[in-house]
Structure 1
Amino acid sequence: MAENLKGCSVACKVSLSQLQTCCRQERVFCQELGLNKKNFNDYEVEYLCDYKKNRDEEFYLVKWKGYPESQNTWEPRKNLRCVKLLKVFQHDLELELRKHRKRRSLKKLDSSISSYLVQKAKQRQELQRWEAHLNKMRNHKGRIFVLNEVDLEGPPKNFTYINNYKVGDGIMLNEVTLGCECADCLGNPVKGCCAGASLHRFAYNDRGQVKLRAGLPIYECNSRCCCGMDCPNRVVQKGIQFDLCIFKTDDGRGWGVRTMEHIRKNTFVMEYIGEIITTEEAEKRGHIYDRQGATYLFDLDYVEDVYTVDAANHGNISHFVNHSCNPNLQVYNVFIDNLDERLPRIAFFSTRHIKPGEELTFDYKMQIDPVDAESTRMDSNFSRAGLPGSPKRRVRVECKCGVESCRKYLF
């Protein structure tokens, strides 16, 4: 029996830092874990809890990584080599003292302030773990950052990050059976390529910027096409390309999203992803969301009001994008591997140049100026099953976008 197990191995469920802590507690050296006589007594600081000053020497109350809070110790500044944690602690302390209008030259912190600093440190850990989880779940190039410098709210509960539509009960996505035969879809399209199949001109220029007027559908090359992923008619399907930050707004609008990079005008930014449900199911959920004061329902009403995307519990970073009456994102209906016009993919493209640090927004009731008979079929009815302005909803919601052209109410 032992011979059959020769060469077998089992992954350890304990992290490296936890193993190092166990060794230190048991006074055991371990070269494989990097513990020797020189660094054996070097303990890792998890976060700083409190501050005091005795004469001219500063002391910090330290929470040691791998040890319970009951073993926190006061350490002089000279003993601490955690420069980043010290800067974070000082930043949080400065903000809290400013809020309470207290002087920086304190010899001892009030218990309320030190309690807040501990909560802030724990919240930061939660957000960092959530950020790592989001980046582990994403399948796109753009990284996700998380920041909350407003309050102590942590990651949202009951939210699962997904990269593609989650199909609800009784809904079928019919995959395409044909693709284009182009060797060069932009330079030499065969029979109009995929875009030509709908009698529309090519959607993108050679830099991937959309050329079509809002309201016209975009038909990208699909999995049956002869071209590869470097084809210029594959933009939305490549996913989010920009680093984005989920941040807590300071004006009562909850979480928002800002870009970390410069975004050119008419550039694809993200898709609105969620669970595809019927409008009947959306009506039921809308009543529940009414009572919660929030909703994430987006009607797919390009040709018929049959299906809705619900991003309340399953979605991507678009879940956190706020409304504005003067938005920098525009909605387009996109078709790739599914050509059912009742089930378009909802893509957001930039309406103007967007600077790093600028919040991303779209209009929850974006109207499209008609340019032909077909374009009048499309408008952006975000949350029509759950937001005001619809016969399905009875409550008016005040708009907090703050722009000069604000309509005061979402609908």
Structure 2
Amino acid sequence: MAENLKGCSVPCKLSLDQLQTRCRQEKVSCKLLGVSKNNINDYEVEYLCDYKRMKVSPSRVLKSTQTLKAVEFYLVKWKDYPESENTWEPRRNLKCVKLLRQFQEDLEAELRRRRKRAGGARLDPGVASSLVQRARQRQRLQRWEALLNATRNHKGRIFVRNDADLDGPPRDFTYINNYKTGDGIALTEVAVGCECQDCLGAPAGGCCAGASLHRFAYNERGQVRLRAGLPIYECNSRCRCAADCPNRVVQRGIQYDLCIFKTHDGRGWGVRTMEHIRKNCFVMEYVGEIITTEEAERRGHIYDRQGATYLFDLDYVEDVYTVDAAHYGNISHFVNHSCNPNLQVYNVFIDNLDERLPRIAFFSTRPIRAGEELTFDYKMQIDPVDAESTKMDSNFSLAGLTGSPKKRLRVECKCGVESCRKYLF
């Protein structure tokens, strides 16, 4: 029987970190796991829970002639061990410089919030409890950040920060990169593509935009040169041009590092850029589940009772479909409203040319500094151009609505700009 099992293997249910911990628990050295006699007694600090300062003797045997020395101790939560195994450790035993710095920053922030001064041999129990909650929250957000970056298919990285409260990741939200179609809705693939050798310099037949009787959308730096309201027709999977074609901008996805952060003024989550963005550059798409307007009407009533909705009408030629980003979406799900926004909406067509189902792309309206919040106008409406228009659905809001779509209560705007209209709806 044994000879039949040669070459067989099964996946281990433990991670490498858990295997290292098990080796240290059992006092077993393992070269492959990096556990040796020199570090077998080293354990990883997960986070710090509390702090105290005590006077202790510098030697094991306390003599009356010896001077007591003040020593700092930290209550340590050890990775892969239950909280019942937490231990007080002197500062000299801890090599986790980053966690020590983070603990100090959290402590100072919590004392400022409580309007208390630092000092004393022990922390107030309420302060210590808040520090533990903050450490646990940071872990949840770090896991969510890792999940978002493992899911994304675009170059731009996603960061997550929350210094405003103790909220963790939003519940019941799944990150997606492309439209998710609802029941009975299908995206038809384009049948033809361009034959261009140089889509920008020598477009054959006007390239994809010209074939659709429209203008080429981008300049040589990939900046949109059409006014809002005009459609963008990019090269598609049937075109002969390469992936670096200047008429392939939106389809390359998000190029900038962006940060999902919790606002301090009651606007919930927001998004800020970690990099400088030039004017007229593509930033992100609005992605979600495509549903019919009838289904959107039904969901709208439910979302109103919950206090928020993420419905965006695709009414480029007719009001047939809606994008719902409440539970399925990308980073645009978290972008806030502003009456003076730095993002503008464009309708884009690539592999699907059904004018009832455009892709919704956000382009910068001006240069945007690194660290600046990204916003767009939830009531954005563009004057029709040759019977073409792009309009934000009046149901769309992150601030929360009540009542039926035909009878809404006025919602106060919190964008804070000088030109604020004071109300979203």
* TM, length-normalised to structure 1: 0.96
What's the offset of the Cα at 1:388? 7.9
Q: Distance in 2 between matches of 1:388 and 1:224?
A: 46
Contact 2:152-2:177 at 8 Å conserved across structures: yes
Contact 2:310-2:326 at 8 Å conserved across structures: yes
Instruction: Tell me what 1:41 maps to.
Output: 41
* Residue of 364, 378, 393 corresponding to 1:381: 393
Aligned 1:8-407 pairs, distance under 5 A: 8-55=8-55, 56-370=70-384, 372-375=385-388, 377-381=389-393, 383=395, 391-407=405-421
Contact 2:194-2:240 at 8 Å conserved across structures: yes
Contact 1:387-1:393 at 8 Å conserved across structures: no
Question: 254-263 vs 14-23, which deviates more?
Answer: 14-23
What's the offset of the Cα at 1:389? 11
Contact 1:384-1:390 at 8 Å conserved across structures: no
What's the offset of the Cα at 1:6? 2.2
**What secondary structure sits across from 2:75 in the alignment?**
strand
Contact 2:301-2:404 at 8 Å conserved across structures: no
Instruction: Tell me what 2:66 maps to.
Output: none
Which deviations, in whole Å up to 9, do the C-alpha atoms of 1:27-70 show, x marking residues without a partner? 22222211111101111100000011124221110001111111
CA, structure 1 residues 88+118, in 2 after alignment: closer, same or farther (shift >3 Å)? same
**What secondary structure sits across from 2:159 in the alignment?**
strand
Contact 1:161-1:315 at 8 Å conserved across structures: yes
What's the offset of the Cα at 1:387? 5.7
Instruction: Tell me what 2:61 maps to.
Output: none
Q: Distance in 1 between matches of 2:34 and 2:125?
A: 38
Question: 197-206 vs 140-149, which deviates more?
Answer: 197-206
Q: Distance in 2 between matches of 1:14 and 1:342?
A: 49
Contact 1:303-1:378 at 8 Å conserved across structures: no
Q: Distance in 2 between matches of 1:251 and 1:77?
A: 37
The letter for the 2-side match of 1:37 is K
CA, structure 1 residues 391+73, in 2 after alignment: closer, same or farther (shift >3 Å)? closer
Question: 188-197 vs 389-398, which deviates more?
Answer: 389-398
Query: Which runs of 5 or more residues in structure 2 are unaligned?
Result: 56-69
What's the offset of the Cα at 1:205? 0.4
What's the offset of the Cα at 1:165? 0.2
Q: Distance in 2 between matches of 1:296 and 1:396?
A: 17
Contact 1:389-1:396 at 8 Å conserved across structures: no
What's the offset of the Cα at 1:353? 0.3
CA, structure 1 residues 43+192, in 2 after alignment: closer, same or farther (shift >3 Å)? same
The letter for the 2-side match of 1:35 is V
Contact 2:395-2:405 at 8 Å conserved across structures: no
What's the offset of the Cα at 1:24? 1.6
The letter for the 2-side match of 1:209 is Q
**What secondary structure sits across from 1:365 in the alignment?**
coil
What's the offset of the Cα at 1:396? 2.2
Q: Distance in 2 between matches of 1:70 and 1:13?
A: 24
What's the offset of the Cα at 1:4? 4.2
Contact 1:364-1:383 at 8 Å conserved across structures: no
What's the offset of the Cα at 1:281? 0.3
Contact 1:260-1:356 at 8 Å conserved across structures: yes
**What secondary structure sits across from 2:49 in the alignment?**
strand
Answer with 1 or 2: which has the greater Rg: 2
CA RMSD of aligned residues (A): 1.6
**What secondary structure sits across from 1:241 in the alignment?**
coil
What's the offset of the Cα at 1:191? 0.5
**What secondary structure sits across from 1:63 in the alignment?**
strand
What's the offset of the Cα at 1:393? 4.7
Contact 2:290-2:322 at 8 Å conserved across structures: yes
**What secondary structure sits across from 1:240 in the alignment?**
coil
**What secondary structure sits across from 1:381 in the alignment?**
coil
**What secondary structure sits across from 1:89 in the alignment?**
helix
Q: Distance in 2 between matches of 1:277 and 1:367?
A: 21
Q: Distance in 2 between matches of 1:5 and 1:189?
A: 63
CA, structure 1 residues 359+389, in 2 after alignment: closer, same or farther (shift >3 Å)? farther
> What is the identity percentage for the equivalent residue pairs of Structure 1 and Structure 2?
78
What's the offset of the Cα at 1:381? 2.6
* TM, length-normalised to structure 2: 0.93
CA, structure 1 residues 213+390, in 2 after alignment: closer, same or farther (shift >3 Å)? farther
